[in-house]
Chains A and B, each alone.
Chain A
Amino acid sequence: MNKLLISFAAVVVLFAACKQDPLPEPPAPAQGIQPGQGVFIVCEGNFMFGNSSVHYWKYGDAECSSDLFQAANNRPLGDVCQSLTIIGNRGYVVMNNSNRVEVVSLNDFKSIATINGFTSPRYLLPVNSAKAYVSDLYANRISIVDLNTNDVTGRISLAGKTEQMLLHNGEVFVTNSENNKLYVINPQTDSLTDSLVLADGGSSLVLDANEKLWVLCSGNWQGSTSGGLFRINPATHLIEQSFALPPSSGAKSLCLSPQADTLYYLQNGVKRMAITDQQLPAQAFIAQGTRNFYALACVPGGELMVSDAVDFVQRSYVYRYSAAGAELQSVRAGINAGFIVHY
């Protein structure tokens, strides 16, 4: 009996002593966040895993920060961090599957407030100094937030999954990824004033140097309808030009050069197009190769930031490219870097 027991113990000790997988280091407090010096990298994490994170990458540094929110607040940020809107020295971190918006101080990422009352929030857009809109995937409405009290003060009913928004000349343009509409809202009355028919899968939009609105639609997620890139006159609400994109094109992350004269977007690589071009680019400006490009941002100086989500279940790489498309640098951020914003 004793021999058996000793044998069992020996086997246990033998295997327990095998090589151990090292555990990740806890995040370090934020350092060196200064306006105009870098970018915030917003990482979605995995749906239902609660492993979202936000990182700061100071231009030129070899590494970016670790998880800013966890380090500053000693708790995880939440589930599926969708976007970060900067208003003054505050950051509004939109937590899609945590149904809330975390308000943080951008200097140290300490939590200031939490705004609740959303279903599946996506983006926050300030429409004046005291009011912001928050788009939503599953609520069939956007929410109105009082930026002074951090409360939801009202709703505007809009059918479908609302995404990025843009304020121009007293009107808010709202993209919609579930149908083919671009909504127009009057922020004075918080009411829907117009709907433009574009293509399914609208998610991002920019305003160019000629004060024309560009909206990128990828087609529906089922892959059964076409998408397109549309140039719209925001004053007349008329579509001036449209470029068709095939179904399942994967086109997304429309952004604009600092001079507002060149468009960039992701579609199996980074595509580049002047606002005066008459057709969509055939070739990628930056080839995707073996990478899995997931987010794109244009930053001052004409540089581009592109994330590689790899297999979506590990930390992303974020690349910095020159205006000429040359790879300059890369860092590893969090899981599924899906939104990058200059600060």
Chain B
Amino acid sequence: MKETLRTYLAGILFVCGCLPALQAQDSLRQAVKKPVVITEWRGGLSSTGLIPLPIDSALASQYLQQNLSELLMRNGVFIKSYGSGSLATAGLRGSSASHTPAIWNDINLQSSANGQIDFALLPAFLFDFVLVQPGSTSAAWGSGAIGGAVFIASAAQPGDSMMAVRLTTQHGSFGENGQGLQFMLSRSRMAVSVRGVRHLAINNFPFRNITLPASPEQTLGNAATFMQAATADFAFTPGRKGNHQLGAHVWVQENNRHIPPSMAQTHSEATQYDRSARFLLTHSATLRDQKTFMRTRSAILIDELIYTSGFVSDSSAITHGLTQITETELTRELAPKIILNAGINHTYSQVEVSRFLSLQRMNRTSVFVLAGFLPARGVRIAAQFRMELVNGRVLQPVGSIGISSVRSMWVRLSANVSRNYRIPTFNDLYWQPGGNPYLKPEKSWNAEASANTTVHNGKHSASISLTGFVREVNDWIQWIPDGAVWTPRNVLKVWSRGAETRFTFSFKWRKWKLENSLGYDYVRSINKRAISPNDNSLNKQLIYVPAHRAFVAATLIHKHIYFTWSQQFTSHFFTATDHSTYIPAYTLAQVTIGSKLKLKKHRAECFVRVNNVFNTAYTLMPLRPMPPRSFQLGLRFDFQTTNQ
């Protein structure tokens, strides 16, 4: 049964187009040809009818030493960034930052305090794979997954006896340097993977200050960032039958970031210190009937944030967060073509913010059921349901129905309809003053349909996908003034629709190979409810939502030498709800030249990258300069020994 399930889920992922994305993160595991056990990732079945956005494999390899915001930006995801290494949030499909969670090994990492994920705090080196899944998936992942989700995972997998070591180092302009070290050991019944990574950047780059007369060139100050993190993944299969597997994951990290002044400020002494520790224990088992698969996981997430303004009379603000998650689920093959998955999740959270928010607690319990049906070869239907209790109060149940079919060898059609929700954050509920304990959860409807075609022609291959979506979010929470105090209210109604297209092809000629990815996204996300007759935001695109985004990434490979050119276009986007102010459109380009060498089982790679090739002056937030043209040199070594 276990193998059946694995095969089945692997098939789902492959048909979904997930597999290329999973492989995209150039992990050491792949380097030693031990694929991640994708049964550990349940997103495949629950995402039936949704099409993930592939991560360009060449870019994923080259951005190992960067944080995830950099990698996602290069792959067409719009990131709202305050600058290099500074706060960076994602809003998939025109949603807000709190609508796009990051899911680490099936654990939602969204901050309980503000509901957001800072992707600048997620080092790419720590993960074996990265997957961007647009579309609403609250039925699978609970509150918050309205715009989409970013899945990240690290794992260790027992199997062949082997030992591998990865060493990376990167140096760049403006005081950037970083190193990563990974050690992986596996035997038939146990495996361990330990990683450490650090990254330092002074970010003292020049920029034109357009707020001063004659726009003089200045050097960004108080912009240094420092990150160090370590993870340990452990897996153990007791007994000879291999019906059980135990797993343990630890992730500790600290970031120290100076917050630079905007162009309109003369100076800044603000700093932000983030520290986190995450622990996850897993157990999976195939029961004696060989038709039932059980998984249990328990996680503790501890976060601390210390912000210091640097002002004489304004002290620091400290946020402490603690989340405990326990989840267990059963998957059973009811009939040859029917699989049922059911589980229960309990999440306890507590948050305390000095000066603003006293210690607050929240207990959430949810039950979820997922039924998968394979009526014919290549066709599958999945329906899921989730109901949640928050501090004993039952929320409206949510669910989804997805279908994916292979009608012919060439075209795959998919569709998904879902009901979703996001509960208010601790800040929304309890912030003093202004917190509103009577807030309702945001609710949304999402529908989408996709067509995907893949062509193989000898050494060449190509694929194109087109996804169209519509989404309506009701009771969107917004902070608005109430007398002298700002308070959150369920005021907005947002209607979004758009399309995502991806075109990839691979072309071989003698010893030359060309790999190309093109993408174009269009999104209209508009406010359908005015808060007053004077509100001129009605029927206008939300702020920080560009209507058009496009990217291209082309890699030309000749023997062990490669050349990558990537470029992204982002249309203008507004910073005022009545569209009276905006950030202009911009185009960025990067060029990478590198070489991959292989000596027996060992591998090495070195590359030189030029970022912002055309030295474009641009901002993603008003008056927050982004880096000009810069250079990076990267080295990577993979050593392996295998004992068969």
Contacts and interface: CB of A to CB of B under 8 A. Distances in A.
Interface of A: 1, 4-5, 7-8, 11-12, 15-16, 18, 20-24, 46, 48-51, 73, 75-76, 78-79, 95, 97-100, 111, 116, 119-120, 137-140, 159-161, 178, 218, 221-223, 248-252, 267-268, 290-292, 308-315, 317, 334-335
A106 to B, nearest CB: 19
Nearest to B622: A49
A51 B312 contact: no
Given A20-B547, A23-B579, A334-B580, 5 more contacts: A48-B623, A49-B581, A78-B264, A308-B532, A313-B576
A98 B311 contact: no
Given A15-B520, A48-B622, A138-B314, A310 B455 contact: no
A142 to B, nearest CB: 13
Given A11-B466, A120-B311, A310-B536, A75 B212 contact: yes
Contacts of B212: 75
B576 A291 contact: no
A159 B518 CA distance: 59
Nearest to B215: A75
A99 B265 CA distance: 6
Contacts of B643: none
Contacts of B266: 98-100, 116
Contact of B464 (A4, A120, A222): A4
A292 B265 contact: no
A199 to B, nearest CB: 14
Given A12-B520, A138-B313, A1 B455 contact: yes
B598 interface: no
B312 A49 contact: no
B138 to A, nearest CB: 27
Interface in B250-291: 262-267
Interface in B465-515: 466, 478, 480-481, 483-485, 498-499, 501, 503, 505
Contact of B311 (A11, A18, A138, A267): A138
A6 to B, nearest CB: 10
A183 to B, nearest CB: 15
A79 B462 contact: no
Contacts of A21: 540-541, 547, 574, 579
Contacts of A140: 312-313
Nearest to A1: B462
Contacts of A137: 311, 313
Contact of A291 (B480, B503, B532, B580): B532
Nearest to A120: B311
A45 to B, nearest CB: 8
B183 to A, nearest CB: 43
A98 B210 CA distance: 13
Contact of A310 (B453, B464, B478, B534): B534
B311 A23 contact: no
A144 to B, nearest CB: 17
B317 interface: no
A51 B576 contact: yes
B522 A48 contact: no
18 contacts: A15-B520, A18-B547, A48-B622, A75-B211, A75-B215, A76-B210, A98-B264, A99-B267, A139-B311, A139-B312, A160-B313, A308-B532, A309-B481, A311-B577, A314-B535, A314-B576, A314-B577, A334-B580
Interface of B: 210-213, 215, 262-267, 309, 311-314, 432-433, 453, 455, 457, 460, 462-464, 466, 478, 480-481, 483-485, 498-499, 501, 503, 505, 518, 520, 522, 524, 531-537, 540-541, 543, 547-548, 550, 572, 574-582, 621-623
A222 B433 contact: yes
B550 A12 contact: yes
A342 B56 CA distance: 60
Contact of A11 (B457, B499, B581, B582): B499
A313 B577 contact: yes
B432 A223 contact: yes
A8 B485 contact: no
B485 A250 contact: yes
Contacts of A313: 537, 543, 576-577
A52 B524 CA distance: 28
A5 B503 CA distance: 8
A5 B518 CA distance: 10
Contact of A4 (B455, B483, B485, B574): B455
Contact of B580 (A20, A24, A116, A160): A24
The winner among B212, B264, B485 for most chain A CB atoms within 10 A is: B264
Nearest to B505: A1
B534 A290 contact: yes
Nearest to A12: B520
Contacts of A314: 535-537, 576-578, 580
A11 B501 contact: yes
B600 to A, nearest CB: 37
A1 B460 contact: yes
Nearest to B536: A314
A251 to B, nearest CB: 8
Given A268-B483, A311-B537, A248 B314 contact: no
A50 B576 contact: no
Contact of B532 (A24, A46, A290): A290
A187 to B, nearest CB: 23
A291 B534 contact: yes
B433 A8 contact: no
A49 B481 CA distance: 19
B265 A98 contact: yes
Nearest to B311: A138
Contacts of B532: 290-292, 308, 310
A75 B485 CA distance: 33
A139 B534 CA distance: 37
Contacts of B263: 50
A79 B623 contact: yes
Given A24-B582, A292-B532, A335-B581, A248 B455 contact: no
A276 B23 CA distance: 79
Nearest to B432: A222
A95 B488 CA distance: 28
B433 A223 contact: yes
Interface centre among A4, A161, A222 (most CB of B within 10 A): A4
A111 B211 CA distance: 12
Contacts of A311: 478, 480, 531, 535, 537, 577
Contacts of B522: 15-16, 18
A119 B311 contact: yes
A250 B487 CA distance: 13
A152 B79 CA distance: 41
Nearest to A294: B481
What are the 4 closest A-B residue pairs judged by CB atoms, nearest first?
A: A250-B484, A314-B578, A138-B311, A250-B483
Contacts of A309: 481
A126 B423 CA distance: 52
A315 B576 contact: yes
A49 B453 contact: no
Nearest to B492: A311
A50 B432 contact: no
Of B455, B481, B483, B577, most A-chain CB atoms within 10 Å: B483
Contacts of B574: 21
B503 to A, nearest CB: 4
A51 B575 contact: yes
A12 to B, nearest CB: 5
B531 A49 contact: no
Find the residue from B480, B537, B623 having the highest chain A CB count within 10 A: B623
A48 B621 CA distance: 9
A49 B520 contact: no
A315 B173 CA distance: 40
B313 A4 contact: no
A221 to B, nearest CB: 7
Contacts of A312: 480-481
A309 B498 CA distance: 31
A50 B264 contact: yes
B548 A16 contact: yes
Nearest to B314: A138
